[in-house]
């Protein structure tokens, strides 16, 4: 019994690559998830949150509010015109913007609700809720709710001089209670407008389908791409090289097969989501078809590229597990990108997953059509990634897999 155990342990610790993968994969994932959930460093440390503000009022009062918000430790205010700010939300770059509409000074003077407005992406409910909660209290403190409530009471008394003292006292108490609750974060005090409204396709459903489909596709295509290494080990590659077929044709044939399998897998995934979870694909068929092709092309190229690095299938498997999990994590397959810290969101652009998932969001959440420049840009990036990886794979395969002795 102990001899068996000793033998197995000797084999396990003798396999340096296996040992590295056993430790490297979980360590890499622990690190990434810690960063993704913002858990790195001491818990009491807080970082500034960027708030996009569109100042439509452009008065001394609005400028003072913006300046005082910016002076708070927890916020970094970025001012920009309304249409630019709205565009950031529509594109998915920001979850929420604060708009200061015209009439701030008057509303403060008259005791009316200030013309603040939150415009947000309903897909990012969690992030929007946190930002709203943090902003409302500070905004109310800055505009001075005590003064407004007093002016509201005065206004009410002027408009209702004949009311009996008991009823008047009750109304005064109600006004004060309302303002107090506003300070504590009652979001009815500030108007909220979704720039991208709730839809039949929930963000959770889109994320689940797109994120999972892309991640699993990557695993599948790496296996397909690595089949050329199997062919080398089994001798069929050598036999192919004896035939009149050119080495480039062998690789391109592999790539075509991998692309077809990728498209097939994605189509089945979205059909499944349509049939079982009512994902509305019928209204987005042209854009979805192109996005599936672009994703399949980028993912299959990535799979073939990874395989081109290695000399054996075992080496590909070890490497691909780590690379795909890391890429899926930073690319938003596991956790939506907007929930990650800024530096991880910046890293996401190096991941195929990110461009694919954002593209599917564009289609199902933002209702973008094929002619929309944002969707076209995402598709273009995927095709560019695919083309670059394919060329690199061709070169590497010739150096590694096609080296026959």
Which residues of the chain form contacts with another protein (CB under 8 A)?
A: 234-236, 238-245, 404
User: Facing residues of 79 across strands?
Assistant: 53
Which of residues 166 and 404 has its CB atom nearest to another protein in the complex? 404
Which of residues 165 and 405 has its CB atom nearest to another protein in the complex? 405
Measure the CA–CA gap between 76 and 64, rounded to whole angstroms. 15
Which of residues 274 and 402 has its CB atom nearest to another protein in the complex? 402
**Residue 77 · residue 65 · CB < 8 Å:** no
Which of residues 123 and 224 has its CB atom nearest to another protein in the complex? 224
- Give me the least distance between CB of 324 and another protein, in Å please: 25
Other beta carbons less than 10 A from residue 377's beta carbon = 15
- Give me the least distance between CB of 234 and another protein, in Å please: 7
Q: How far apart are the first and last CA of the chain?
A: 43
Which of residues 193 and 248 has its CB atom nearest to another protein in the complex? 248
- Give me the least distance between CB of 348 and another protein, in Å please: 38
- Give me the least distance between CB of 404 and another protein, in Å please: 6
- Give me the least distance between CB of 390 and another protein, in Å please: 23
CA 189 vs. chain centroid, Å, equals 30
Which of residues 156 and 402 has its CB atom nearest to another protein in the complex? 402
Measure the CA–CA gap between 338 and 345, rounded to whole angstroms. 7
Measure the CA–CA gap between 245 and 250, rounded to whole angstroms. 7
Q: What is the DSSP letter of 201?
A: S
- Give me the least distance between CB of 401 and another protein, in Å please: 13
- Give me the least distance between CB of 405 and another protein, in Å please: 8
User: What's the token pair of residue 250?
Assistant: 């062998």
Which of residues 252 and 388 has its CB atom nearest to another protein in the complex? 252
Q: Phi and psi of 11, rounded to 5°?
A: -65, -45
Cα 323 to Cα 65, 138, 202, 270, 352: the distances in Å are: 46, 43, 29, 25, 12
The helix (run of H) or strand (run of E) holding residue 207 is helix 203-225
Measure the CA–CA gap between 129 and 137, rounded to whole angstroms. 13
């Amino acid at each position: 019994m102990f001899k068996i155990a000793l033998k197995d342990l000797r084999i396990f610790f003798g396999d340096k690559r296996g040992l590295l993968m056993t430790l490297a994969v979980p360590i890499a994932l622990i690190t990434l998830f810690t960063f993704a959930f913002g858990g790195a460093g001491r818990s009491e440390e807080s970082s500034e949150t960027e708030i996009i503000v569109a100042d439509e009022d452009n008065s001394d009062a609005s400028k003072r509010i913006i300046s005082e918000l910016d002076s708070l430790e927890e916020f970094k205010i970025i001012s920009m015109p309304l249409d630019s700010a709205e565009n950031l939300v529509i594109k998915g770059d920001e979850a929420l913007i604060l708009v200061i509409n015209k009439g701030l000074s008057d509303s403060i003077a008259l005791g009316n609700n200030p013309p603040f407005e939150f415009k947000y992406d309903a897909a990012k409910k969690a992030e929007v809720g946190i930002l709203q909660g943090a902003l409302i209290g500070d905004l109310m403190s800055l505009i001075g709710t005590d003064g407004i409530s007093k002016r509201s009471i005065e206004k009410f008394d002027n408009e209702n001089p004949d009311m009996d003292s008991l009823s008047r006292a009750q109304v005064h108490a109600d006004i004060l209670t309302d303002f107090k609750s506003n300070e504590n974060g009652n979001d009815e005090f500030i108007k909220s407008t979704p720039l991208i409204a709730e839809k039949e396709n929930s963000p959770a459903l889109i994320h689940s389908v797109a994120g999972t489909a892309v991640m699993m596709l990557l695993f599948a295509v790496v296996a397909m791409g690595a089949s050329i290494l199997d062919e080398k080990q089994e001798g069929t590659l050598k036999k192919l090289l004896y035939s009149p077929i050119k080495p480039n044709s062998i690789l391109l044939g592999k790539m075509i097969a991998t692309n077809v399998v990728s498209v097939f897998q994605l189509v089945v995934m979205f059909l499944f989501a349509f049939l079982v979870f009512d994902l509305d694909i019928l209204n987005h068929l042209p854009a979805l078809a192109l996005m599936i092709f672009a994703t399949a092309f980028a993912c299959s190229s990535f799979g073939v590229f990874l395989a081109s690095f290695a000399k054996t299938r075992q080496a590909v498997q070890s490497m691909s597990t780590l690379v795909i999990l890391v890429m899926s994590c930073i690319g938003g397959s596991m956790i939506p990108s907007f929930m990650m810290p800024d530096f991880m969101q910046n890293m996401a652009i190096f991941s195929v997953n990110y461009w694919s998932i954002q593209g599917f969001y564009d289609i199902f959440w933002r209702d973008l059509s094929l002619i929309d420049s944002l969707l076209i840009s995402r598709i273009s990036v995927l095709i560019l990634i695919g083309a670059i990886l394919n060329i690199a794979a061709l070169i590497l395969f010739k150096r590694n897999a096609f080296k026959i002795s």
